Amino acid sequence: MSRAAKVVASLSVEEMTERQSRSEHKRLADEIARHDKLYHEQDSPEISDADYDKLRRRLKAIEERFPQLVDMFSPTQRVAPTPTTAFAKVRHARPMLSLDNAFSDEELQGFVDRVRRGLEREIDLAPDAEIALACEPKIDGLSISLRYEDGEFTVGATRGDGSVGEDVTANLRTIQDIPHKLKGKFPGTIDVRGEIYMERAAFQEMNRRQEAADEKTFANPRNAAAGSLRQLDPEITATRPLRFFAYAWGEAEPRPWKTHSEYLKLLRGWGFRVNPLSQLCRTPEEVLAYYRQMGVERPSLPYDIDGVVYKVDRIDWQERLGFVSRAPRWAIAHKFPAEQARTRLNGILIQVGRTGALTPVADLEPVNVGGVMVSRASLHNADEIERLDVRVGDMVVVQRAGDVIPQVLGFVPEERPKKTHKFHFPTHCPCPLETPVAAEEGGVVRRCSGGLECPFQQVERLRYFVSRGCFDIEGLGGVHIENFHRDGLLKVPGDVFRLPEKADEIGRREGWGKTSVQKLVAAIEARRTIPLDRFINAIGIPLIGEATAKILAQEYGEVDDWLDEMLKATRERAAYEGLPKKEKAAAEVGPSYGRLCNVEQIGVTTADAMGEFFREGHNVEIIRDLRRQLTVQPVTRRVVADDARLKDKVVVFTGEMTSMTRDQAKARAEELGAKVTDSVSKKTSLVVVGENAGSKARKAAELGIPTMTEEEWLKLAE
């Protein structure tokens, strides 16, 4: 975000000029569209519901003050992005709309007052007339529409953009809560609508099974439900513990019910599950009491809810009130605040990641937060602990950010024990090697210097070593690596290529059969020849990723040349650092170190991080061990023609590419003479911006670096 945009974003809506409001309106619309796609299509939200609601509320406030900014493309005028998956499309007979939100008792009262004024205007409602509201828990799941013709279930679809959804009929037929044929007397045609969800206990059990099978696990029940329903193979969906609550309708011919509460009774008779906690409230006091009772019961419910939905009970009144943009005037969702709880901080643990980064984790007395038992929460880094000043023994406040990620908000001062001590971040890794911890200059991350000898890093590095962007060894997933490491079969990367010698021993292990062992051995043997760039990337050197590994491979060409140059650069740096201060000013750093620093995307910081890595003899021995077992293919230096369109240009790709893969786009850029990198800096010449672009596009704008769309890139790359 540019400095000017940051200034505008910090203004209240009342302070904005019309010109500022246009800029902020576009920024919010783009941000909301990106989060909509992440949530509805990819089932991987990046922000909490509360933060998302803040974006929409600010956008709505701008449009209320500057109504000329409202157009058909505004997020306030639609429900969600148009579905773009492999599923067929289904157009809803009646749109599936979203609901406006209330976040306080005052906003709820405002809704009730608007309903009353609307009915007084439409039907001359008496000032003291009762307005009954049908109240029900707001299930945190996936909205679905089920079409029944002559009582037979024919088509099931997701909400999609409200007008067009995805056809998931085959998957829905596997869910026991959804009847294939209605019972009793029913309309000839009806769209029954409701929520697909997953109960918490079933979600946790499913995640345990997924992890044991070394398959993808889900962050929360909502994501699990959405991901399970949108499987291309219905047999996979059938294995997932999905449930369904019915609560609404779309098209219905004929429609004999006159109230919402009457419709819920009919749903039960037809064979649907209806939430037993649904209740008819006849006064604002009853409505608020229901909301508070749901807040109390929320932790003990078997499923996640994030609020309460209120609907005017009488259908004829709903029809008179009508709709506004994307939401009905006769219904609203009353959201719960982020749930918090107090618990005791029993300890602060240190976890070590793949690159040696030390992450402090709060060890908590188990506490129920939003229906989930929380016993651990990340404290992120040493600076965050210092900011919070949390100490072992403190009573702390815990919140699940977005009702998903546990976080410690702070301690309760009045309940702090008399004898507590500030937490001192360890100076040595908690691994058996007890190697020193190094703090990155200007950063907050502290790392174990033990490298590949650190047992904590070994497991994470082995996971990375066999991953898709590195050696890509199928059949050797995270669970297998942990078990093999625990039992001494795997310690360093070279041990992966010694596993075929232990095939008989592996075959005797639980869960391994003759076929699975044969496949594993074949997968390993197929990777004994590997390009230099993938070899460098797989080693797991701090600050070296896939793109930088390619640049290093291009620079040094041969694996032996690369290793020799890294060792020379390390010795030269150490010799320079060992000079007296007076001599440093006149001394020159050696040629190998200077060459490394001048490689594109390396620089002094990365070169020094590499030096720390290569100073550890065990890291070098691990590389040499691999070298003895593998054939590392050299990389032919790319010769760029003088007339190449992108000669000496530094190009960055960000966002999703729709016409080609990211790798294909990078390869084409390199063919045109460009150097492709993963980060935006002052040296960047061009940023190609795909869909859902994030921070890289914003940084390019801040630095004034030219950008182009994917379509413009395709024309350039022809």
**Structural domain includes residue 58:** yes
Going by C-alpha positions, the residue among 162, 199, 159 that lies closest to residue 177 is 199
Going by C-alpha positions, the residue among 7, 6, 58 that lies closest to residue 32 is 58
**Structural domain includes residue 85:** no
- Name the amino acid, one letter, at 118: G
Per DSSP (E only), the strands in 318-416 are 323-324, 327-328, 331-335, 340-352, 358-369, 372-378, 395-401, 405-411
Residue matched to tokens 């619309």: 29
What is the reported pTM? 0.49
User: Does residue 138 have an active-site annotation?
Assistant: yes
**Structural domain includes residue 642:** no
Per DSSP (E only), the strands in 459-601 are 529-531
* Per-residue H/E/C for 610-649: HHHHHHCHHHHHHHHHHHHHCEEECCCCCCCCCCCCCCCC
Average pLDDT over residues 422-440: 86
Judged by DSSP in three states, 687 sits in strand
Examine the fold and report which residue of 433, 449, 465 is the final residue of a domain before the chain moves on: 449
Helix 559-577 / helix 591-598 crossing angle, nearest 10 deg: 110
Q: Are 669 and 717 in contact (CB under 8 A)?
A: yes
> Which structure tokens are listed for 219?
């962050």
**Per-residue pLDDT reduced to its tens digit, 208-230:** 887 777 677 777 788 889 888 98
Of residues 662 and 499, more confidence is placed in 499
Of residues 405 and 112, more confidence is placed in 112
**Structural domain includes residue 95:** no
What's the confidence (pLDDT) of residue 83?
45
CATH number, position 506 = 1.10.150.20
What's the confidence (pLDDT) of residue 632?
93
Same domain, residue pair 323 and 366: no
- Pairing state between β 675-677 and 707-709: unpaired
Residues 6+ apart with CB under 8 A from 172: 144, 146, 153, 156, 178, 196, 229
Going by C-alpha positions, the residue among 139, 470, 495 that lies closest to residue 301 is 139
What's the confidence (pLDDT) of residue 378?
85
Q: Are 336 and 364 in contact (CB under 8 A)?
A: no
Same domain, residue pair 121 and 266: yes
Q: Are 309 and 135 in contact (CB under 8 A)?
A: yes
Nearest-angstrom CA–CA distance, 477 and 472: 10
Residues 6+ apart with CB under 8 A from 33: 75, 81
What's the confidence (pLDDT) of residue 448?
85
Is the pLDDT score of 40 beyond 80?
A: no
Name the band, by pLDDT with cuts 50, 70 and 90, for residue 7: low
User: Which helix (H) or strand (E) segment is 439 a member of?
Assistant: strand 437-439
Same domain, residue pair 229 and 322: yes
Quote the longest CA-to-CA distance of the chain: 96
Mark out the alpha helices in 392-466 (DSSP H runs). 455-465
CA within 13 Å, CB half, 397 = 13
Choosing from 138, 675, 696, 699, the catalytic residue is 138
Task: Label residues 624-641 b or e (16+ Cβ within 10 Å = b).
Answer: ebbeeebebbebeeeebe
Examine the fold and report which residue of 296, 314, 335 is the final residue of a domain before the chain moves on: 335
Is the pLDDT score of 529 beyond 70?
A: yes
Same domain, residue pair 441 and 313: no
Residues 6+ apart with CB under 8 A from 500: 521, 524, 525
Average pLDDT over residues 445-464: 82
Same domain, residue pair 313 and 189: yes
> Which structure tokens are listed for 411?
């301690």
What's the confidence (pLDDT) of residue 84?
44
Going by C-alpha positions, the residue among 305, 308, 415, 300 that lies closest to residue 368 is 300
Average pLDDT over residues 702-714: 83
Domain count, the chain: 6
Same domain, residue pair 407 and 457: no
CB atoms within 10 A of CB 333: 18
- Pairing state between β 395-401 and 446-448: unpaired
CA end-to-end span of the chain:
32
CATH number, position 690 = 3.40.50.10190
> Which structure tokens are listed for 122?
């439409």
Same domain, residue pair 291 and 381: no
**Structural domain includes residue 91:** no
CA dihedral 496, 502, 508, 512 (to 10 degrees): 30
**Centroid of chain to Cα 692:** 13
**Per-residue pLDDT reduced to its tens digit, 160-192:** 878 888 999 999 999 999 999 999 999 999 999
Rg over CA atoms, the chain:
30
Is the pLDDT score of 636 beyond 80?
A: no
Indicate the range of 324-333, 365-374, 482-491, 650-659 predicted with least confidence. Answer: 365-374
Same domain, residue pair 223 and 119: yes
- Pairing state between β 242-253 and 189-198: antiparallel
Of residues 355 and 570, more confidence is placed in 570
Residues 6+ apart with CB under 8 A from 46: 35, 38
**Per-residue pLDDT reduced to its tens digit, 589-624:** 789 998 998 887 788 888 888 998 898 888 899 999
**Structural domain includes residue 92:** no
Going by C-alpha positions, the residue among 175, 182, 173 that lies closest to residue 149 is 182
Going by C-alpha positions, the residue among 258, 300, 263, 299 that lies closest to residue 278 is 263
**Structural domain includes residue 640:** no
Same domain, residue pair 400 and 360: yes
Examine the fold and report which residue of 416, 449, 482 is the final residue of a domain before the chain moves on: 449
Name the band, by pLDDT with cuts 50, 70 and 90, for residue 403: very low
Residues spanned by the domain of 456: 451-527
Residues 6+ apart with CB under 8 A from 120: 127
Rounded to the nearest integer, the mean pLDDT of the chain is 85
Average pLDDT over residues 371-375: 73
Indicate the range of 59-68, 191-200, 346-355, 470-479 predicted with least confidence. Answer: 59-68
**Structural domain includes residue 82:** no
Average pLDDT over residues 292-316: 90
The DSSP annotation for 689-713 comes to E-BT--HHHHHHHHHT--EEEHHHH
**Centroid of chain to Cα 151:** 40
Same domain, residue pair 257 and 152: yes
CATH number, position 139 = 3.30.470.30
Of residues 636 and 542, more confidence is placed in 542
What's the confidence (pLDDT) of residue 450?
77
Per DSSP (E only), the strands in 94-163 are 101-102, 133-139, 142-149, 152-158
What's the confidence (pLDDT) of residue 401?
55
> Which structure tokens are listed for 375?
């016993």
Same domain, residue pair 193 and 60: no
DSSP code for 423: -
Per DSSP (E only), the strands in 162-304 are 164-166, 189-198, 242-253, 279-281
Same domain, residue pair 458 and 432: no
